[in-house]
Amino acid sequence: MQRRKLGNSGLEVSALGFGCMGLNFLDGKGLEKKDAITLLRNAVEQGVTFFDTAEAYGPYTNEEIVGEALQPYRKDVVIATKFGCKDASPAVGLDSRPETIRAVVEASLKRLRTDYIDLLYQHRVDPNVPIEDVAGTVQELIKEGKVKYFGLSEASAKTIRKAHSVQPVSALQSEYSLFWREPENEIIPTLEELGIGFVPFSPLGKGFLTGIINKKLEDVDRRNIIPRFSEENIKANMVLVDALSEIAEQKSITTGQLALAWLLAQKPWIAPIPGTTKLHRLEENIASTTVVLTADELAKINTTVNDIELVGDRYPEFLEKQIDR
C-alpha cells in the first residue's frame, strides 16, 4: 500500500490506517478476541501499518487486543493510543494532569506489549490543564523514549498552535468525512501552515456513508446516543448517500470507496482510519487507495454535497461539551 507522511514530523504510515475501537467497543457486536486478532493480522498482511486504539476503548481491552495482535509485527507498524479521559471513560470526564498522563502511558505500554508508543494523542482537550503542560509532559516522555510522536484529537486551531509551540504536534485526529466537513473551515489550513498531519476518524461517517444504515439501529448499537443516528435523521440524511451512490456507480466502486478516495484526494498528508469487524469490508476499504478521482469528479462530489443540508448533531450533549472550541 502507498505510504504517507503525517506532515513534517517524519512519521510515515500506510495511506489507510485501521481504527480499532469497533473491534470490541462501538456497536454492540464486537468480535471475539481471537477473531479480532486474526482480522488485525490480516490487515498487516495486506499493507496496513497504522493502527489506532485508546485506553478508553473497552476500557482497556482494546489495547490488549491490539498489543497481542501486533506483537509479531511491532517493528513494522505504527501504534497510536490516547490519554485524557478520567478513569478511561469519556462519560466520567477529562483528566490530562501530568501525573495522569504518565500513569496512563505506563499502563498502555504493558497492555500494548511494547516499550514505546509511536503516536500518543490527547483524547480530548482538558480545559482544567494548560495545553502547554500537556505538551511539556509528552515532550518529557519523548525524551525518555517511551513515546515517539505527539498528537491531539478534536482540538481547536488555537489549542493546536499553543501545543505546537512547546512540542511539535505530528498529527491531529478529528472527525472528517463527506458526512462532516467542518475541519475545512479552520483546522485544515492551520495544519497545512504548521506542517501537521491529519488523521480523520469516522471517515465513513460512522458507517453511514457505506449505505448499509437505512433504518432504526438495533438497541445495542452505541450509535443510538448520536442525534444524527435517530430514526428520523437517518431517513432525512439518506439523500446524501443516494447522491453519492449514483456517482460511485458510474465508477463501478462502492459508496464507501468513493468516500475514502475523496478523503485521500484532499491532501497528501491525510491518512484516514476506517474501522471494521469484517474481512470483506477491510478489503473493500483497502481497495479505495487505488481509486483515482479526476478533478471533474471531485468537483461534482463537492457540488453535490454542498447542496445537501444534513440534520442532527454528531455527538450527544455530554460529549459535545468536551469539544475544544
Give CA angle at 270 (267, 276), nearest 5°. Answer: 135
d(CA 276, CA 23): 7
Helix axes 33-45, 61-70, angle to 10 degrees: 50
Backbone phi, psi, residue 150, to 5°: -110, 135
Backbone phi, psi, residue 69, to 5°: -65, -40
Please say whether the beta carbons of 151 and 121 come within 8 A: yes
Query: HSE (CB half, 13 Å, CA atoms) of 96?
Result: 27
Please say whether the beta carbons of 91 and 139 come within 8 A: no
Grid coordinates given for 316 = 450527544
d(CA 57, CA 73): 22
d(CA 27, CA 123): 20
d(CA 304, CA 240): 8
d(CA 322, CA 19): 21
Instruction: List residues with catalytic annotation.
Output: 57
